[in-house]
């Protein structure tokens, strides 16, 4: 155990040295700031910026529901403490009113404040760095056109040593390099647009790519599915494996992004908020682009086969399914989409982690509200069932109708209550 | 609404018989005013895209059509005034009432949809069963009845009946009826108001009232209300039927007698 720890540490220090030695290039390459492009009219640029603010879901972290837009204060609880999205309105005292377009680009592209202080990567600049300067300027123009709010940004509440911002210099040296995403000339425009949206403003990797203990995304496992750090939710694989998007058509993907559901499944938990706050506002072309790019991702590694669950758990689970679930999700787990999602072949059901299934049983929830589905159907919470019953039910759902995702323990359920 | 199951108890059967005619009239009225409330549904199963299907997330705990859960914890929501139900839904969603399963369930649902859900349950007119609790110690019964019917002017404590009506059936659109609810639910609400766990729009009249009650009085008035049989027809009085003795932020201003 200790040995493993030290070898890990050693590897990290070596990586760090390597990056620092060869890595001055990253800062140097990013230094020349391009002047803002003036070709587009102001209005068109603001409109582009408004659209990008939705694609990037800025409000998700910078707006408290029912409060002033972009005035910040949204908590993001993490293992390091709680971060609060800051005020990004044009207020000169409390927002980003004193920032220039260059300052804004420096934040988005380099992850730094105007005074050079490194930003916490809870602000997803490892993804935003791929955005173009023109898009950064458009987003800046839009934010500057919004009403200023004099709500002060709430200071982060991070524990020592994470409240020492200078440590981010080390983190950045190891895990961050700025760079705009260049188009791949071997692919068509749709694919390139999709890749840009997914890997840049959409920052899908922030949830769908595994992070290490220092919260850095692992680029080798891009979009392969991940337990969302410090939340009970699992962001499913977006690659082409069975528990990813193998059985989803591009249309299924685009439909979920538009309405919140498709014949394959329904967005829940944090993804429901992303659909209602962001992807429902994308153009059809952009949703198709995202779908085309995701469908092109190679399958991540297949899961190792898991042991079959006990007959007793399957029997108890089957009885509970008959009693509580069959009315909506149907006898063969086929559901009644789009009202109620299928459970057979459902990516959230097949995921490596049983968290989503257990969460849904425990807490229920409504599908996201979207323009195309303003009165969604919902699922009741089954928190009155015992941990052991919920474990049996989840086990049954994960191992019936062709699903083979393994057993769920009562202890697992307890940990999610 | 149509497919009501008659209760097994003989006394409520006879009551049901008497009600049949009134019910038929009510159904015709409803069919004219709210045709969507009488969507055809298969005898078995749950047809998607009906309101009944949309509120399946509610009726798992609150009972079929909102008639109350079986365990005395989840209150009846059927037939409560729509304004009151909507205020509760918004309050659960936004934190005025603290119950995590309700908050999670309602997260992100817009007011318009909540209004439709509130209307749906307000329109469920279901018969009431006999109170589970009938025998109270005389002292408790006396205290409970006094608080419910006359209040205590010396302490500035209005009677329940002063706002909830002399038959405790509430008033449209914001004041709920108090009968047909479990004792534990009633005392939990009064206790929550007293401690600030449940809050309504300021001025929070129920917080003021509950703040004047002792724990013993909360127990007595909850028990007394829970022991009262529900006299049919039991429906909230029309809006503006009477004026309220105290200022309540949760009530539309027109309902207040005094400025």
Cα dist from A65 to A61, A154, B30, B115, whole Å: 10, 16, 36, 19
Smallest CA-to-CA distance from A60 within A122, A136, A147 is with: A122
- Residue that wins the pLDDT comparison between A380 and B31: A380
Asked whether the beta carbons of residue B56 and residue A328 sit closer than 8 angstroms, the reply is: yes
**pLDDT tens digits for range A109-127:** 999 999 999 999 999 999 9
- Does position A136 have pLDDT exceeding 50, yes or no? yes
A189-296: CATH class: mainly alpha
**pLDDT tens digits for range A255-294:** 999 999 999 999 999 999 999 999 999 999 999 999 999 9
Q: What is the pTM of this model?
A: 0.83
**Domains present along chain B, CATH in parentheses:** 30-122 (1.10.760.10), 138-255 (1.10.760.10)
The secondary structure of residue A181, as a DSSP letter, is P
Q: Nearest CB to A369: which of B48, B49, B109?
A: B109
**pLDDT tens digits for range A284-322:** 999 999 999 999 999 988 888 899 999 999 999 999 999
pLDDT band at B81 (very low <50, low <70, confident <90, very high): very high
pLDDT band at B26 (very low <50, low <70, confident <90, very high): low
The top-scoring range by mean pLDDT among A317-321, B181-185, B255-259 is A317-321
**What three-state secondary structure class fits A118?**
strand
pLDDT of residue B130: 86
**pLDDT tens digits for range A390-399:** 999 999 999 9
Cβ–Cβ contact B48 with A under 8 A: yes
- Does position B16 have pLDDT exceeding 70, yes or no? no
**pLDDT tens digits for range A358-373:** 999 999 999 999 999 9
Question: In CATH terms, are A189-296 and A311-416 the same topology?
Answer: yes
Q: What tokens were used for A32?
A: 């020349």
Domain ranges of chain A: 31-175, 189-296, 311-416
- Does position A211 have pLDDT exceeding 90, yes or no? yes
Asked whether the beta carbons of residue A378 and residue B54 sit closer than 8 angstroms, the reply is: yes
Q: Nearest CB to B113: which of A339, A364, A375?
A: A375
**pLDDT tens digits for range A69-88:** 999 999 999 999 999 999 99
The top-scoring range by mean pLDDT among A29-33, B70-74, B137-141 is B137-141
**What three-state secondary structure class fits A45?**
helix
pLDDT of residue A37: 53
* Chain B residue with Cα closest to A66: B94
Given 3.30.479.10, 3.30.930.10, 1.10.760.10, 3.30.2080.10, which CATH number is that of A311-416? Answer: 1.10.760.10
β partners of residue A75: A84
Q: Phi-psi bin for A331: left (phi > 0), alpha (psi -120 to 50), beta?
A: alpha
Residues of B in contact with A276 (CB under 8 A): 108
The ipTM estimated for the assembled molecules is 0.85
When scoring A366, A369, A374 by the number of chain B Cβ atoms within 10 A, the one with the most, hence best to mutate, is A366
Count of C-beta atoms within a 10 Å radius of residue B155: 9
Cβ–Cβ contact B19 with A under 8 A: no
Do the Cβ atoms of A74 and A166 come closer than 8 Å? no
**pLDDT tens digits for range B194-223:** 999 898 888 999 999 999 999 999 999 999
């Amino acid at each position: 155990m200790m040995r493993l720890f030290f070898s890990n540490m050693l590897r990290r220090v070596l990586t760090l040295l390597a990056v620092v030695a060869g890595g001055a290039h990253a800062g140097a390459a990013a230094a020349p700031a391009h002047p803002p492009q003036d070709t587009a009219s102001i209005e068109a640029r603001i409109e582009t910026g408004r659209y990008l603010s939705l694609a990037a879901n800025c409000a998700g972290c910078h707006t408290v529901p029912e409060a002033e837009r972009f005035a910040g204060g949204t908590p993001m609880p993490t293992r390091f403490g709680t971060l609060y999205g800051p005020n990004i309105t044009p207020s000169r005292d409390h927002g980003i009113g004193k920032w220039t377009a260059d300052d804004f680009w420096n934040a988005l592209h380099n992850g730094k404040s105007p005074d050079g202080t490194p930003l916490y990567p809870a602000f997803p600049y490892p993804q935003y760095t791929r955005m173009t300067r023109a898009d950064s300027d458009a987003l800046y123009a839009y934010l500057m056109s919004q009403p200023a709010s004099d709500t002060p940004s709430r200071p982060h509440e991070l524990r020592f040593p994470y409240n020492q911002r200078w440590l981010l210099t080390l983190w950045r040296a190891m895990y961050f390099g700025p760079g705009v995403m260049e188009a791949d000339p071997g692919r068509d425009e749709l694919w390139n647009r999709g890749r840009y949206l997914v890997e840049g403003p959409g920052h899908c990797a922030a949830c769908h790519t595994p992070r290490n203990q220092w919260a850095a995304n692992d680029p080798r496992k891009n979009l392969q599915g991940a337990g969302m750090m410090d939340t009970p939710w699992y962001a499913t694989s977006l690659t082409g494996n069975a528990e990813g998007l193998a059985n989803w058509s591009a249309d299924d993907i685009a439909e979920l992004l538009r309405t919140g559901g498709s014949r394959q499944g329904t967005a829940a938990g944090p993804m429901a908020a992303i659909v209602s706050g962001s992807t429902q506002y994308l153009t059809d072309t952009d949703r198709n682009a995202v779908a085309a790019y995701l469908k092109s991702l190679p399958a991540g590694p297949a899961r190792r086969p898991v042991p079959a669950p006990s007959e007793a758990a399957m029997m108890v689970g089957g009885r509970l399914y008959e009693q509580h679930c069959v009315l909506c999700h149907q006898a063969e787990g086929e559901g009644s989409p789009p009202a109620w999602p299928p459970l057979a072949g459902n990516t959230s059901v097949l995921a490596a982690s049983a968290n989503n299934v257990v969460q849904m049983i425990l807490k229920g929830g409504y599908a996201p509200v979207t323009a195309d589905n303003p009165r969604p159907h919902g699922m009741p919470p089954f928190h009155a069932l015992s941990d052991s019953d919920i474990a049996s039910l989840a086990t049954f759902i994960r191992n019936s109708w062709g699903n083979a995702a393994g057993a769920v323990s009562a202890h697992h359920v307890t940990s999610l209550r | 609404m149509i497919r009501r199951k008659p209760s097994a108890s003989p006394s409520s059967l006879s009551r049901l018989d008497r009600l049949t005619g009134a019910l038929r009239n009510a159904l015709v009225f409803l069919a004219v005013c709210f045709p969507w409330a009488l969507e055809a549904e298969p005898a078995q199963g749950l047809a998607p895209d009906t309101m009944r299907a949309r509120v399946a997330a509610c009726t798992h705990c609150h009972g079929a059509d909102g008639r109350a859960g079986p365990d005395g914890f989840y209150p009846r929501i059927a037939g409560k005034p729509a304004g009151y139900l909507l205020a509760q839904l918004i309050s659960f969603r936004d934190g005025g009432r603290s119950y995590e399963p309700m908050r999670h369930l309602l997260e992100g649902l817009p007011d318009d949809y909540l209004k439709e859900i509130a209307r749906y349950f307000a329109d469920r007119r279901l018969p009431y069963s006999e109170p589970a609790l009938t025998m109270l110690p005389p002292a408790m019964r006396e205290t409970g009845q006094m608080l419910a019917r006359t209040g205590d002017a010396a302490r500035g404590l209005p009677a329940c009946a002063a706002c909830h009506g002399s038959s405790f059936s509430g008033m449209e659109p914001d004041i709920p009826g108090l009968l047909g609810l479990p004792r534990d639910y009633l005392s939990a609400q009064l206790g929550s108001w007293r401690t600030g766990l449940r809050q309504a729009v300021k001025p929070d009249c129920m917080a003021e009232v509950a703040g004047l009650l002792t724990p013993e009085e909360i127990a007595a008035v909850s028990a007394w209300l829970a022991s009262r049989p529900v006299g049919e027809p039991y429906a909230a009085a029309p809006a503006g039927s009477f004026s309220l003795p105290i200022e309540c932020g949760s009530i539309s201003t027109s309902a207040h007698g005094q400025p």
